[in-house]
Amino acid sequence: MSEPTHEVKLTVNGVPHSVSVPARRLLSDCLRHDVGLTGTHVGCEHGVCGACTVLLDGEPVRSCLLFAVTVDGQSVTTMEGCRSAEGGLGPVQRAFMECHGLQCGFCTPGFVTTITAFLRDNSDPTEEEAREAIGGNLCRCTGYQNIVASVLRAAEILREGAVE
Amino acid sequence: MTIDAPVRPQAPPATPEAPATSGRPGPFGKAIPRREDLRLAAGDGRYLDDLGHEALAAAFLRSPHAHARIIDIDITDALGVDGLVAIYTYEDLDGRVAEPLPLLIPHPALHAPRTNYPLANGVVNHVGEAVAMVVATDRYIAEDAVERIRVQWEPLPAVVGLPAAFAAEHAVHPDVPDNVAAHMVQSVGEAHAAIDAAPYTMELALHVERSASMPLEGKGVYARWDADDRSLRMYSSTQTSTSVRFAIAAKLGIPVDRVEVVTPDVGGGFGVKIMHPWPEEVLVPWAAIRLGREVKWVEDRREHFISSAHERAQEHTVRVGFDADGRILGLDVRFLHDNGAYTPYGIIVPIISSTQLLGPYKLGSYRVEFHSLYTNTVLVTPYRGAGRAHGCFVMERVMDAIADHRGLDRAVVRERNMIQPDEMPYDQGLIFQDGRPLIYDTGDFPASLHKALALVDWSGFAAVRDAARAEGRSVGIGLATYVEGTGVGPYEGAHVRVETSGDVVVATGLTTQGQGHETVFAQIAAQELGVPIERVTVTTGDTRRFKYGVGTFASRSAVMSGNAVAAAARKVRAKALRLAAAALAADESELELADGEIVVRGFSSSDGLPGPRIALATVAVLANPLRYAFDEEAQRATQFSGQMGATPAGDGPPVAEGEEPGLEATGWYSPIRSTFANGVHACVVETDPETAEIKVLRYCVVHDCGTIINPMIVEGQVHGGVAQGVGGALYERIVYDESGQLVNASFMDFLMPYASEVPRVETDHLTSPSPLNPLGVKGVGEAGIIPGHAVIASAVEDAEGFRIDRMPISPSELWELRRRHAAGEVPSLRRASSLQPGSSLREEPA
Ligand code: FES
Ligand code: FES
């Protein structure tokens, strides 16, 4: 007998989506394979690495710890939603490129979404606050130093943008 | 044979040749941002699981036992799962797929090699070994079916840990009763006699525990079989697509030209993905062919812990003889290496350990002997640092111990034992992992040491220690040096083509897992061809684009493919100048290539003198004489245009003798042996007097990787390596219980460092170009991690005043050592009594 499915309505990066998924479908899998946005990555599927972090109604959550059906009607921002309006690198993403804040890039989506939310609340962080803000995400490549620099650079880019 | 003087004549007359266009402006050597980041930082990368959304999903039933016989596999229950497509066990395998997986690197000392079957054949030898493969419409359903397969097991005694393996009360493989896979001895001089005759001798037992590469993306395989074309395309998250291609073609009995292996973006490797073919790399395409459907398998984190390779576990017993000045007269190292249940990757790790242990030092004599032992645990293959981290730990612990014994400064003892720059090239008299002599090419080890001492302010540390003491805090300083063999052969190649648009397309066989190859290889090609880097694109790890190559490991990519790209680009450059000379009716020697065009020297746009010129794009058009034009530009290369090829006068063949059509070339680089990078790490730690928590306060790195192509990327490699080194020294370890269960197979329990645990890295460097390759480069991928165990042990020991002889070290282990030290069971360092406020560490007197 085939598994029953549920209609789930989501707004992803501002675009409404409706998907039909089994109750056990993880939000991470739903975003990646049903909505087709593979910018969200899965590093552990047990809530520790943070690669799957997306913003749910603006707040960072681990999409591997949520079922898609539990976020019906909510809005999700993914890595793709952190791009610039023209589709190029967004401010946080640009900072990562400028500061060499990524190597393999697998952890990057979780950092970019987390930092996007952090800078919304703290537009001028100290280095220590920047390090603290990324303290829940694992990166196996960079040693974090350039990610901390990316946070500070992103804040700078965003402040410049706000002034313009 | 003695190692005091190099005994082998130096083969290569090769002089380091700067890039052809060095001195000219160009991207080589600059910290330019990475070109791949436009894709990766936008969330537009394509990793393995981003492909094949319509593919069937595979999942594996894996052994819950470390050692057991399979009595029966019952799939009845699983057959009822809706969406199930197929279940395979060993009985279903056919042809060469039913044979054991290949022994990749045979070695005469590996007298009892054993490799596994893709699916267990009657017996399992570690938790996580694949027993059955399920294919279903999606992964959730495939896992449902896996859960319903019933296996009847007959557990067998598990061999776990080196002491048990060596004692051999039980055997992993019944036909290897002593559990010894390999036994190897190398020696230079008469170490035993030298030690016996030395004024002072010491014995140490030095242990390193198991760890793992642990890339953030696990492995994954996706295969498509085209039955009409009888061809296979396979994607794998691997460090070597070229070798996977040959291995899979051989296993599946498909002509190799019918197999394409593509490595998409890869979320980190660090060694574990150089091992191949993994059972899944054989089974996924095999199933795709049988089913005539696309099949994909993506490893989950638990699978990665229990079935992908580990590394590091070694137990060393060391005897050293030295003189009053701390000079080593003889070193004898015996060690046990835990190779896990199988040896498909041979004994590369212990070979590297036993050779790279020597570091920057010349010892009076050296003997190393190892046993590589089977245990009922996951197989062991290289993890970043591969054997070097343990070797460095042993050598540097010995240096610290000698310094303490003689009441000498730890830096002084190191310097006294170092090879001097005027002794380069220096032959250590051993055979390295590439089967070639261990000859250091260049480097100034004392200069590296002094730079590191200056960076960490070694001589000023006594004051730092005093100040900390005054606040009731305890700090220590550590030092460790390393030499890293990089750029091992046998070869890599590259293809460079100038398109008729003037764009330059580069392809090389080896793969990328975050090292920035799309940028550094583009820097090399752009520099050689005098084109803006924006016009260059680079593809790695795609056998459709470049079929031959070896892979990405052992800090070899910049050396191997970097020089291959340079070689190919230089051929293209020469050809462009030849064709341009004919077209411009000028002499080749008058021409230069810059900003995408070829001009007569002195007449470039920057000279402000408009002179005869031809765009590289036009040369590319002319290089391929055409009968049929495909666009306006191409019309210039057709028969009646009067411009065709190198023979505008029309008196020779359109493609001249010895030429080939197209402005493109293939270049190769195959070194006679490895090139050796070196460096020194120094760090300051604080140990909490109550909790025994260890915090790294400062971490300094001085490294010498020869000519640098992109300093930003080099720096990034060092940072990342240090983070893994610190993780390996203080937090990470793979723990098996005595029954062979891996008890910490999750990120919850295997403690990779977060940002809060990784110190800021302070760096400085030297540049000793390698004479072994035209670019003068050396590898840097492992520079950050190698001295991790050694330097942190050195600092913790310094803070605590008693010897640290096993790594990693956790707060509870340090706490226990303190307790035993207080109880008189662990002796104090000799210098500990002198480390009172006001004393100078510079002297470290006994
Ligand atoms: S994948 Fe969700 S936290 Fe790791
Ligand atoms: S860049 Fe590879 S895990 Fe962070």
Residue-wise pLDDT for A132-160, tens only, equals 999 999 999 999 999 999 999 999 999 99
Cα separation, B511 vs B539, in Å, equals 9
Q: Which residue has the higher pLDDT, B650 or B109?
A: B109
Going by pLDDT thresholds of 50, 70 and 90, the confidence category of residue B245 is very high
Q: In whole angstroms, what separates CA B391 from the centre of its chain?
A: 16
Going by pLDDT thresholds of 50, 70 and 90, the confidence category of residue B693 is very high
Give me the pLDDT at residue B628, please. Answer: 83
Give me the pLDDT at residue B790, please. Answer: 98
pLDDT more than 70, % of chain B: 93
Instruction: Name the least confident of B82-86, B417-421, B681-685, B829-833.
Output: B829-833
Distance B473 CA to ligand 2 centre (A): 35
Phi, psi of B789 (to 5 degrees): -60, -45
Going by pLDDT thresholds of 50, 70 and 90, the confidence category of residue B20 is very low
Inter-chain touch A148–B755, beta carbons under 8 Å: yes
Give me the pLDDT at residue B656, please. Answer: 85
Q: Is the pLDDT of residue B15 over 50?
A: no
What residues of A are in contact with residue B83 (Cβ under 8 Å)? 2
Task: Give the residue on A whose Cα is nearest the Cα of B54.
Answer: A33
Which helix (H) or strand (E) segment is B180 a member of?
A: strand B180-188
Same fold for the domain at B48-156+219-298 and the one at B314-488+672-835? no
Contacts of B229 (CB under 8 A, 6+ apart): B258
Single pTM value for the model:
0.94
Q: Which residue has the higher pLDDT, A89 or B584?
A: A89
CATH of domain B314-488+672-835: 3.30.365.10
Give me the pLDDT at residue B555, please. Answer: 84
Tokens of B837: 């406020």
Q: Is the pLDDT of residue B1 over 50?
A: no
Indicate the top mutation candidate among A27, A45, A78 to test ligand 1's pocket, ranked by most ligand atoms within 8 A of CB: A45
Query: Alpha helices, DSSP H only, in A43-99?
Result: 91-98
Q: Is the pLDDT of residue B601 over 90?
A: no
Q: Is the pLDDT of residue A42 over 70?
A: yes
Contacts of B120 (CB under 8 A, 6+ apart): B63, B70, B90, B129, B130, B131
Q: Taking all residues of chain B, what is their mean pLDDT, rounded to a whole number? A: 92
Interchain contact B50–A (C-beta under 8 A): yes
Going by pLDDT thresholds of 50, 70 and 90, the confidence category of residue B611 is confident
- Cβ contact B760:B649 at 8 Å: no
Inter-chain touch B721–A46, beta carbons under 8 Å: no
Q: Hunting for tokens 């949520």 — which residue is that?
A: A66
Instruction: Write down how long chain B is.
Output: 846
- Region B493-507: mean pLDDT is 96
Q: Cβ(A15) to ligand 1 under 6 A?
A: no
In chain A, what are the domains?
Answer: 5-81 (3.10.20.30), 83-160 (1.10.150.120)
* Count of C-beta atoms within a 10 Å radius of residue B649: 8
Q: Cβ(A62) to ligand 1 under 6 A?
A: yes
Cα separation, B393 vs B347, in Å, equals 19
- Cβ contact B285:B232 at 8 Å: yes
Distance B344 CA to ligand 2 centre (A): 28
pLDDT in tens, B435-489: 899 999 999 999 999 999 999 999 999 999 999 999 999 999 999 999 999 988 8
For the CA atoms of B159, B165, B170, B173, what is the dihedral angle to 10 degrees? 80
Give me the pLDDT at residue B643, please. Answer: 64
Distance B44 CA to ligand 1 centre (A): 19
- Region A87-97: mean pLDDT is 97
CATH of domain B489-669: 3.30.365.10
Question: B345 by DSSP, 3-state: which?
Answer: coil
Tell which A residues from 78 to 117 touch B, by Cβ distance under 8 Å: 78-80, 82-83, 88-90, 93-94, 96-98, 100, 102-109, 112
Q: Is the pLDDT of residue B10 over 60?
A: no
Going by pLDDT thresholds of 50, 70 and 90, the confidence category of residue B608 is low
Instruction: Name the least confident of A107-121, B46-60, B112-126, B832-846.
Output: B832-846
Phi, psi of B337 (to 5 degrees): -115, 130
Tokens of B48: 């393995």
Q: Where are the domains of chain B?
A: 48-156+219-298, 314-488+672-835, 489-669
Radius of gyration for chain A, computed over Cα atoms and rounded to the nearest angstrom: 16
Interchain contact B267–A (C-beta under 8 A): yes
Which helix (H) or strand (E) segment is B164 a member of?
A: helix B162-167
Q: Is the pLDDT of residue B497 over 60?
A: yes
- Region B527-536: mean pLDDT is 96
Question: B513 by DSSP, 3-state: which?
Answer: coil
Q: Is the pLDDT of residue B9 over 60?
A: no
For the CA atoms of B245, B251, B256, B259, what is the dihedral angle to 10 degrees? -60
Shortest distance between the Cα of A75 and any Cα of chain B, in A, equals: 19
CA-CA distances (angstroms) from residue B533 to A44, B545, B708, B775?
A: 37, 20, 17, 18
Tokens of B307: 């079935």
Q: Is the pLDDT of residue B12 over 60?
A: no
Which ipTM did the prediction report? Answer: 0.98
Instruction: Write down how long chain A is.
Output: 164
Going by pLDDT thresholds of 50, 70 and 90, the confidence category of residue B64 is very high
What residues of A are in contact with residue B747 (Cβ under 8 Å)? 43-44, 46, 48-49, 138
Residue among A22, A96, A132 whose CB faces B37 most closely: A96
Inter-chain touch A102–B37, beta carbons under 8 Å: yes
- Region B393-408: mean pLDDT is 98
Residue having the nearest C-alpha atom to atom 3 of ligand 1:
A47
Q: Which of B162, B156, B157 is nearest to B179 (CA)?
A: B162
Give me the pLDDT at residue B364, please. Answer: 87
Going by pLDDT thresholds of 50, 70 and 90, the confidence category of residue B833 is low
**Annotation: CATH topology of B48-156+219-298:** Aldehyde Oxidoreductase; domain 3 (3.90.1170)
Q: Is the pLDDT of residue B230 over 60?
A: yes
The one-letter amino acid at B110 = L
Give me the pLDDT at residue B11, please. Answer: 37
Task: Give the residue on B whose Cα is nearest the Cα of A35.
Answer: B53
Phi, psi of B631 (to 5 degrees): -160, 180
Q: In whole angstroms, what separates CA B510 from the centre of its chain?
A: 12
Inter-chain touch B755–A108, beta carbons under 8 Å: no
Give me the pLDDT at residue B426, please. Answer: 96
Query: Alpha helices, DSSP H only, in chain A?
Result: 27-29, 91-98, 108-121, 127-133, 145-163
CA-CA distances (angstroms) from residue B255 to B246, B251, B533, B677?
A: 9, 10, 38, 40
Interchain contact B220–A (C-beta under 8 A): no
- The one-character DSSP state at A14 is T
Distance A31 CA to ligand 1 centre (A): 14
Going by pLDDT thresholds of 50, 70 and 90, the confidence category of residue B665 is very high
Question: B794 by DSSP, 3-state: which?
Answer: helix
Q: Is the pLDDT of residue B503 over 90?
A: yes
pLDDT more than 90, % of chain B: 86
Give me the pLDDT at residue B845, please. Answer: 32
Going by pLDDT thresholds of 50, 70 and 90, the confidence category of residue B626 is confident
Give me the pLDDT at residue B609, please. Answer: 64
